[in-house]
């Protein structure tokens, strides 16, 4: 039979098929062939002996959180407690785009910001939308439901940003554990211990362990540059320009003119330096 892996705990795989849910083990050949089954994988399995026999080809995969065949990555982005991190947001956007997954930014904790911060949020949302990256607020339930429909959605973002709270708000029956922000650490406390898919509004949505550090190990500097759509849109006259110290690069001029968001460009330079280091 064919099914989809919806949860992995230890070495037990929950597989959902057209006829029901099965608890399966993976064949020993996966370890021998260095294949790691992931939540989101389509697989062939033996329903009588409860063994996963084969993993079908993937459209994409992420390392952290470990998940496959994702349609949309919903980046849960806190505005306060924990504070807004544009560096982490842009890093996630680049890695998600590189992995051929559509990113959508979901801002949370809007009730904690003041009027000046609200204006800053509007500026950010307008900019990201202008470069083709959709933004949404966590209280826009109708829009969230339309995004989820018939898609596999992964929630990612900083710890404590409100991923589990968002899921509970969409479906209180999920009853996913949440914890307050750690005052000592200044960030969220991990509550999710494994990746799991939930059926929600005719789609699948994943609750994943929070994380605070990611890297560009699988990307080249050119790959990173190409994940910034505003660079492509403005057609730098030099085909291979990295938009750093090159003379006559129009991208730097557009930053000065505020046509390209300064924080985006500064983060891009920081990421290039991180890769060099």
Residue 213 lies in a domain: no
| Per-residue confidence (pLDDT) for residue 203, from 0 to 100 | 95
* 71 pLDDT above the threshold of 50: yes
Residue 40 lies in a domain: yes
184-192 long-range contacts (CB < 8 A, ≥24 apart) are 186/82, 186/83, 187/82, 187/158, 187/159, 187/160, 187/212, 188/82, 188/158, 188/159, 188/160, 188/161, 189/159, 189/160, 190/159, 191/164, 192/163, 192/164
Q: Which residue has the tokens 């924990």?
A: 82
Same domain membership, residue 66 and residue 40: no
Percent of the chain whose predicted confidence (pLDDT) is above 90: 66
Same domain membership, residue 69 and residue 202: yes
Parent domain of 167: 61-207
Average predicted confidence (pLDDT) for the chain: 88
pLDDT tens digit sequence for 169-226 = 888 877 665 555 444 444 444 445 578 898 999 999 987 664 445 788 889 999 999 9
Q: Which two tokens stand for residue 91?
A: 């890093």
Which range in 46-60, 203-217, 238-252 is most confidently predicted, on average pLDDT? Answer: 46-60
Q: How far is CA 67 from the centre of its chain?
A: 10
pLDDT tens digit sequence for 107-151 = 999 999 999 999 999 999 999 999 999 999 999 999 999 999 999
Number of domains composing the chain: 3
Residue 258 lies in a domain: yes
- pTM for the model stands at 0.85
Residue 170 lies in a domain: yes
Same domain membership, residue 195 and residue 163: yes
Residue closest to 276 by CA, chosen among 255, 245, 248: 245
Same domain membership, residue 202 and residue 98: yes
- CATH number, domain with residue 253: 1.10.40.50
| Per-residue confidence (pLDDT) for residue 50, from 0 to 100 | 96
């Amino acid at each position: 039979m064919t099914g989809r892996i919806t949860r992995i705990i230890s070495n037990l795989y929950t597989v959902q098929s057209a006829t029901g849910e099965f608890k399966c083990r993976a064949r020993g050949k996966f370890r021998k062939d260095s294949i790691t089954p992931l939540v989101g994988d389509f697989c062939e399995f033996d329903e009588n002996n409860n063994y996963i026999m084969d993993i079908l080809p993937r459209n994409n995969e992420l390392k952290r959180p470990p998940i496959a065949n994702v349609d949309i990555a919903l980046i849960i982005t806190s505005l306060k407690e924990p504070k807004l991190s544009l560096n982490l947001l842009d890093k996630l956007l680049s890695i998600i785009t590189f992995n051929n997954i559509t990113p959508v930014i979901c801002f949370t904790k809007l009730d904690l910001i003041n009027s000046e911060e609200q204006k800053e949020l509007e500026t950010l949302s307008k900019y990201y939308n202008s470069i083709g990256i959709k933004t949404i607020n966590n209280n826009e339930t109708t829009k969230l439901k339309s995004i989820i429909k018939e898609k596999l959605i992964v929630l990612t973002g900083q710890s404590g940003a409100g991923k589990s709270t968002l899921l509970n708000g969409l479906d209180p029956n999920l009853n996913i554990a949440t914890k307050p922000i750690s005052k000592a650490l200044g960030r969220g406390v991990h509550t999710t211990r494994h990746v799991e898919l939930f059926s929600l509004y005719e789609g699948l949505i994943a609750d994943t362990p929070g994380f605070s550090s990611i890297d560009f190990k699988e990307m080249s500097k050119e790959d990173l540059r190409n994940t910034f759509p505003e660079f492509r849109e403005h057609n730098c006259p030099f085909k291979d320009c990295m938009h750093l110290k090159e003379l006559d690069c129009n991208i730097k001029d557009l930053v000065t003119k505020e046509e390209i968001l300064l924080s985006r460009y500064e983060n891009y330079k920081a990421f290039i330096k991180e890769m060099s280091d």
